[in-house]
Amino acid sequence: MVSTHPTGVQHAGSQYLPQRRSTNAQNNVNFSPNQELLPSTAKVNSQDILEIGGCDVTTLVQQFGSPLYILDEETLRLACQQYRDTFKQYYQGESQVLYASKAWNCLAVCAIAASEGLGIDIVSGGELYTALSAGVSPDKLYLHGNNKSREELTFAIQSNVTIVVDNWQELRTLVEIAEKASPIRIMLRLTPGIECHTHEYIRTGHLDSKFGFDPNDLDEVFTFVSQQPGLNCVGLHAHIGSQIFERQPHRDLAAVMVQWLQKAANYGLAITELNVGGGLGIRYTESDDPPSIEEWVKAICEVIQEACAAQNLPLPKLLCEPGRSLIATACVTAYTIGSSKVVPEIRTYVSVDGGMSDNPRPITYQSVYRSVVANKMSAPCTETVTIAGKHCESGDIIIKNAQLPQTESGDILVIMGTGAYNYSMASNYNRLPRPAAVVVANGEANLILRRETYQDLIRQDCLPERLNVQK
Q: So which residues are the catalytic ones?
A: 392
Q: How far apart are CA 78 and CA 307, in angstroms?
A: 30
Q: Beta 371-373 vs 141-143: how paired, if at all?
A: unpaired
Helix axes 73-90, 293-310, angle to 10 degrees: 20
H helices present in 50-97, as ranges: 57-64, 73-90
Helix (H) or strand (E) holding 233: strand 231-237
Contacts of 9 (CB under 8 A, 6+ apart): 380, 381, 382
Q: What is the DSSP letter of 273?
A: E
- The span from the CA of 456 to the CA of 276, in Å, is 40
Q: Are the CB atoms for 55 and 310 separated by under 8 Å?
A: no
Contacts 24+ apart (CB under 8 A), 112-115: 112/73, 112/76, 112/77, 112/80, 112/439, 113/76, 113/80, 113/326, 114/140
Query: Cα 21 to the chain's mean position, in Å?
Result: 22
Q: Yes or no: say if 188 and 236 are a contact pair by the CB < 8 Å rule.
A: yes
In angstroms, the CA 369 to CA 90 distance is 33
**Peptide bond before residue 67 is cis, with ω within 30 degrees of 0:** yes
**Cα end-to-end distance, the chain, whole Å:** 67
- How many C-beta atoms surround the C-beta of residue 368 within 10 A? 15
175 burial type by CB count under 10 A (0-12 exposed, 13-18 middle, 19+ buried): middle
What are the φ and ψ backbone dihedral angles of 256, each rounded to 5 degrees? -65, -40
Cα Dmax for the chain:
79
